[in-house]
Structure formats: C-alpha cells, structure tokens
Structure 1
C-alpha cells in the first residue's frame, strides 16, 4: 500500500521504517528542511521507562496548580486567554485520580519497555550509531523526604517489570563516577539499570537515510501539511503547500501540531504543546562529566552524556506554541549542572534550544485508526517521545498489517 506519514521526527521516522520494512511504499511529509528539526532535535536524550509514571496524578495536580502562581518551578502554567489550555487542563484534572494514574502508568510502562527493546533491535538490524549508552539512568533526590515520597511510584514500576535499585549518594557515585564531586548534593537515588541514553537527532537523521537507501522511502522536506481531503469515510488526499498527495493510508505523527490538524477534521485529539528547554555543551573535562544519564528530580533537570557532549534539559512550560527562548531561561539549569558536575563544562559554549512536547491529558500517547477507515494516529507521546518512538512505530505497523500486536494495547488505541 501507499502510505503517507506526516512528520519526520523520531515518532514519524520510526513509523516509516517499520511500515517500509513491511513492504509498503512510504512517503514522509515534513515542513522543516531536515528530519528531527522539531521536538526530536534536542530532548534530554533519555530512553527512560523509569520515567513512565503518568504526569496526571494527585501529586501532579498540586504541582500544576502551584505552577500557575510560582513561575520559578520546573513546571510553569500560564492560562491567560488560552481557551484550549483551559479545556485541556480540565481533562488533565479528570486524570488526576489514583485509579487513572495507575492505569495510565501501566500503559506508558508497557510501551516504553517494548520500545526500548525495539530501539536496540532496530540498531542491530540497521547498524545505526547515535552516541547511545546502555548503562542505566540515575533518578537523583536531594532530600530523604523527596526520595521517600517518590519510592511508591518506582516500586509500582518495579512490580510491573522495571528493574530498580534504591541507592545512597555514595553508591550513586560508584555507578556513575562523574557524580563524585557533586554527590554531596543528594540524599539518594533510584537506579534503573536497563534504561539508556542516546542522541535522538542523530538517530532520526541516520534512520531516515537508511530507510531512503534501503527501502526507497521518500522524504518530502520543506512541505507543510494544510489539511485533509475527506471523501465519504476515508481520506482521499493530504493537502500541502506543494499540492495534494494521495495515499491508501495516512499516518498523523506531527508532534504538537497533530492536535491542530486532527481537530480540524473532527478528531477528539487533545494534544497540547508543552515547552521544554535544552542545552548541548562540549565537555571541557570529560572525567568530570557524567558517564550515563540522570535526572535531578527535585530541580526538574535531566542530563545525558552524548559522546563528548553534555545534554541538559529542563522545564515543562504550558504557554501554547511559543518556541522562543532567552538566556535567562537556562540559568537555573546551568546552576544545577555546575553543582552536580563542577568544572566539567563552559556554559558559554552551549547550543541553546527550546521545543514543544506533544502532551495528552493522560500523558499516554494515542495510536491506531481514528474516525476514517484509512487514517491512523501515532502521536501525543509527551516527554517520552524519544523513549516510545520505536515501539510505537512497530505497533503501528502491526495495526496497519492486521497482525496481533506483540504487547497489550490497553489504553493506547484511539477511542478505546
């Protein structure tokens, strides 16, 4: 079949790979001039099933409300005149029950674990290198109180298949010697040894090249999707600024723009853009930098080691489609990183970036057929898009082919 995938980020490109591997004729439509130029450009670099706990929870509700008034937090909410954010927030609030949190967390964890294995299998199949490290991730806490408060979430993940180790600061520094100088900042950590890290932009760029060369996938860069032409119960064509493109199947994988397109055509697709900031910095002294991925959970700062570079990421800012940034947005991130890795980097050499995470109120992505017989979704992955991309693409290919998926799809399929 002829398939159009809308979006060439980690999610769309992975979907294109698995669909093309199944023998379909795949074209990817992307408004940017290159793959991974949007949300996938500079995320934290973490492939992190250990971060699968749903955002929507009784605890997150308190943080979300605090974020409306205290803009120094890692979560910042500015309702303003954004009617869609208000509507999204009401749906988010309905997900903040203990029962919804458990169900949403299990859906995320199931897909995240499957996707981590899929990334590794894909790497073996293609030979793609992307500065990956399979050493685990440390989730660090600055006080015993904050660690104790988080432990029920991690134990729930452990009860459902995620290996973890609860460690003190000394043990954390043994696992990652890069923490030796900064370990005094922390009371302890949760170590997830099967989590890993990698450069999503490098991965997507090389996977796009591989799919084009091996499977003949066509990438139409610099092409903006303007809408869908609907005929009867199906999508006849995708309208773009370069003219209409017809296909047997259309897949929406446009990150934060997915909701805008879907809602124009009657889909209940509450994807909201949540802004995050990232910095990529050459390491001045590699011995003082991390050897693996981690997160300062009390400061909402995540990091990873990508070759000889340090990637930092922070903040969840609910401000619509604003991608702007200024140096002040990175000050707290750099201050935290200097405390953890003193002498490792010179922030003056940092490449600064801001991007939008496509977040569903449940914080669970949505996949599968949606309203029209030949329209599929692969979107809404939020802060775990890099983690879930390969597994989502593999699952989508199964759905298109009519094969039984390899994992339980409870909570993941559109309208179910």
Structure 2
C-alpha cells in the first residue's frame, strides 16, 4: 500500500516508521528543510506518562477565566474574535467537569503508557540516539500546601499503576544533586520513575534518516501543501508547491495546521494552537547542572538534561498561529532556572524558541479515519504531550489503516468526526 504522511514532526516521523515496518511504501511531505523544525523542535523534552492529566478541569476553568483579566507566567489568554478560538473555548469549558477531567486523563494515560513501550522497542531496533535519560522525572513544590495538593493529585496516577515516590527536600537532592543549591526553596516533591527525557528533534531527525536509509521512506523537504484534492469519498491528490502527490491512503500529522487544511475539504476539527516558549542553554558547570528532568509545579516550568544542554520550557499562551517572541517572554523563565541551578549553564547565551502545541478541548489527541474520506486518517492534536504519545499513536493509526486491531485498548481514543 502506498501511503503519504503529511507532516514530519515527531508524530509524523514515528507514523512513517510504523507504516514502513508494516510493509507500506511511505512518502512524507513537510514544508521545512528537516524533521521536527516546528512544534517538535524546542519542547521541554519530557516523555511523561506521569503528566498525562487533561488540561480541562474545574481548576483549569478558574485559571482560564482569571487569565482573561490577569495573565501570569503559566497561562496567557489574549481575547479575540477569531471564530475558531471562540468555538474551541466553548468546547473547552464544556470539558471542565471533574468527571470529564478524569475520563480524559485516563485516555491520555493509556496511550502514554503504550507509547512508552513502543518507544523502547523502536529505540532498541533502530539504535537512534536522542540524549535519552531514563532516571524518572521529579515534580517538586515550594510549600507544604502545594506539595500536599500535588501528592493528592498524583494519587490518580499511582492508582493506575505508575510508581510514585514522595520525597522531602533531601530526597530531591539525593536523586538530583543539581538541586543542592536551591533545595532550601523547596518543600519536597514526587518522583515518577517511569518518566524519562530526550530530545525530540534529535530523535525525529535521526529516525527519519534511519527510515530513509533502511526502509526506503521518501522525505520531501521544503514542500508546502497547497490543497487536498478529493473525489467522492476519497482523497485523490496532495497538491504542493512542487507538484502533486498521490497514494492509496493519506495520514494527516500536521499539528496546528490540521484544522486549516481539513476545513477546505469539509472536515471540522476542534483544535487550536497553544503557544509555548523554551530556552536551550549550554552547560558550563557539570556539578551545578541537573542530571534528570523536572517540573517546578509552583512556577509552572519544566526542564530536561539533554546531553551537554539544559532545555527549559514554560507558558501556555492562546495567541492564535503567532510564533514570534521577544526578550521579555523569557525573563521569568531565565530567572527561575538560574535560581534552581545557579551558574550551571550559559543562560544569557541560550537559544530562545517559541512553538505551537496543537490542543483539543479535551486534551485527547485525534487519531483515526475521517468519516467523509475513507482513505484519510488523522494523527494530530497531541497538545503538550506529543513527544510522550508519538510512538504509540503512530502504531495505533497504522493498525487502523491496515484493518488490524490495535494492541492497546483504544476505547474513547478513536476519532469519530
């Protein structure tokens, strides 16, 4: 079967890998010059089933509403009259019940755990390198009140079988000596042992090269999609600035551009970009740097150790499809990481980046066949855990395309639009 994958972020590349493993003839189209040049380029680096909580919840509802008048470091909402934003917001608010939050979190966790298993198999088979650290991830808190809340919150994950260990400040330093300079600011934290970290950009580019060399996957770089042509219930051609591409089946993995492309062929998708910022700094003092990933839940930043670099990410900003950034956007995150790991890296000389997370109102990704076009499948909308879920969703969408029963329980995960 000839299959075209639209998009070469981490989700598109892992999809191409699974398709080729299943014997498909695979072509990938992407407008950038290399894999993972947009959303997958500068994310926090966390691969975290332990962070599978749905964004929509009663607590998020309060934060979302308050941010309309008082934006803070964690979430920023710029009210606008974009019909897509208004429609998405109404659907998001409809998901902010305790019942739906638990249901959506369980769905995400199921896929994240499966994806972790698939990543292990993929890494073993291909040998791709991506600065992987498998020591777990620390979630830490600055007061006893927020620590107690965090422990109560994480109990859901513990009840679902994830290994959770509650730590005092000495325990945090015992697991990551880099925190020794800032432990007095912390009340304690939680270690989620199944979580890990890695560079999704390096992973995607190395995997794309491996797929090209070992499995004959064809990557068309610098190729922008203009339109999707259809006849009846079939997609017939992808029209690009470099000509037309045809196949038996098509899988859309274009992240935040997905609803824009789909709307032109009459498929509605509730997905909206949520902007995030990150810095990547070269380590200058090994003794002061973190040795594993962490999440400062009170300051709402996440960081990873990526070889000789530290990646730090923050903010959820609703600003449409704007990818620009200014020095002011990084002021707070630079201050916070320098307090946590003082003089550990060249923070002032760090690479600064902004990217868009493709968020659905429920936080559950969109995976499966469209009703309107029998040969068009979607693998998009992974939000803040696309890196975590990528290896799993790529395998699931491949199974669905080929008429195979997925190996994991997909109840509530398959797209029905």
What is the TM-score when the length of structure 1 is the normalising length?
0.98
* Match of residue 315 from structure 1: 315
Q: Distance in 2 between matches of 1:89 and 1:307?
A: 39
Question: Does the 8 A contact of 1:67 with 1:73 survive in 2?
Answer: no
* Match of residue 330 from structure 2: 330
* Match of residue 273 from structure 1: 273
* Match of residue 155 from structure 1: 155
* Match of residue 385 from structure 2: 384
Q: Distance in 1 between matches of 2:330 and 2:120?
A: 32
Q: How many corresponding residue pairs?
A: 416
- Please give the per-residue CA displacement for 1:392-412, whole angstroms capped at 9, x wherever unaligned: 111111111211111111221
Q: Does 1:38 align with 2:76?
A: no
* Match of residue 105 from structure 1: 105
Cα shift at 1:82:
2.1
Question: Does the 8 A contact of 1:185 with 1:339 survive in 2?
Answer: no
Q: Secondary structure at the match of 1:43?
A: coil
Deviates more, 1:234-243 or 1:43-52: 234-243
Cα shift at 1:195:
0.3
Q: Secondary structure at the match of 2:211?
A: helix
Question: Does the 8 A contact of 2:15 with 2:397 survive in 1?
Answer: yes
* Match of residue 407 from structure 1: 408
* Match of residue 184 from structure 1: 184
**Aligned pairs (5 A) from 1:327-406:** 327-371=327-371, 372-406=373-407
- Please give the per-residue CA displacement for 1:255-282, whole angstroms capped at 9, x wherever unaligned: 1111111222222311111100011000
Q: Secondary structure at the match of 1:26?
A: strand
Question: Does the 8 A contact of 1:295 with 1:301 survive in 2?
Answer: yes
Q: Distance in 1 between matches of 2:266 and 2:152?
A: 39
Q: Distance in 2 between matches of 1:413 and 1:26?
A: 23
**Aligned pairs (5 A) from 1:208-219:** 208-219=208-219
* Match of residue 143 from structure 2: 143
Gap regions ≥5 residues in structure 1:
none
Cα shift at 1:146:
1.6
Question: Does the 8 A contact of 1:116 with 1:390 survive in 2?
Answer: yes
* Match of residue 21 from structure 2: 21
Gap regions ≥5 residues in structure 2:
none
Cα shift at 1:239:
1.7
Q: Does 1:85 align with 2:111?
A: no
Q: Distance in 1 between matches of 2:175 and 2:233?
A: 55
Question: Does the 8 A contact of 1:46 with 1:387 survive in 2?
Answer: yes
Question: Does the 8 A contact of 2:368 with 2:416 survive in 1?
Answer: no
Q: Secondary structure at the match of 1:66?
A: helix
Q: Distance in 2 between matches of 1:73 and 1:32?
A: 30
Q: Does 1:67 align with 2:64?
A: no
Question: Does the 8 A contact of 2:107 with 2:364 survive in 1?
Answer: yes
RMSD: 1.0
- Please give the per-residue CA displacement for 1:74-109, whole angstroms capped at 9, x wherever unaligned: 100012222211110100000001111011000100
Q: Distance in 2 between matches of 1:35 and 1:136?
A: 27
Q: Distance in 1 between matches of 2:194 and 2:399?
A: 25
Q: Secondary structure at the match of 2:397?
A: helix
Q: Distance in 2 between matches of 1:409 and 1:185?
A: 42
* Match of residue 296 from structure 1: 296
Question: Does the 8 A contact of 1:79 with 1:86 survive in 2?
Answer: no
Q: Secondary structure at the match of 1:61?
A: helix
- Please give the per-residue CA displacement for 1:180-203, whole angstroms capped at 9, x wherever unaligned: 111112111111011000000000
- Please give the per-residue CA displacement for 1:160-216, whole angstroms capped at 9, x wherever unaligned: 121111111111110111111111121111110110000000000000000001111
Deviates more, 1:88-97 or 1:149-158: 149-158
Q: Distance in 2 between matches of 1:55 and 1:411?
A: 17
Cα shift at 1:227:
2.0
Q: Distance in 1 between matches of 2:251 and 2:69?
A: 38
* Match of residue 240 from structure 2: 240
Q: Distance in 2 between matches of 1:390 and 1:301?
A: 24
* Match of residue 56 from structure 1: 56
Question: Does the 8 A contact of 1:53 with 1:153 survive in 2?
Answer: no
- Please give the per-residue CA displacement for 1:230-266, whole angstroms capped at 9, x wherever unaligned: 1111111112122221111000000111111122222
Q: Distance in 2 between matches of 1:82 and 1:332?
A: 29
Question: Does the 8 A contact of 1:141 with 1:188 survive in 2?
Answer: yes
Q: Does 1:165 align with 2:165?
A: yes
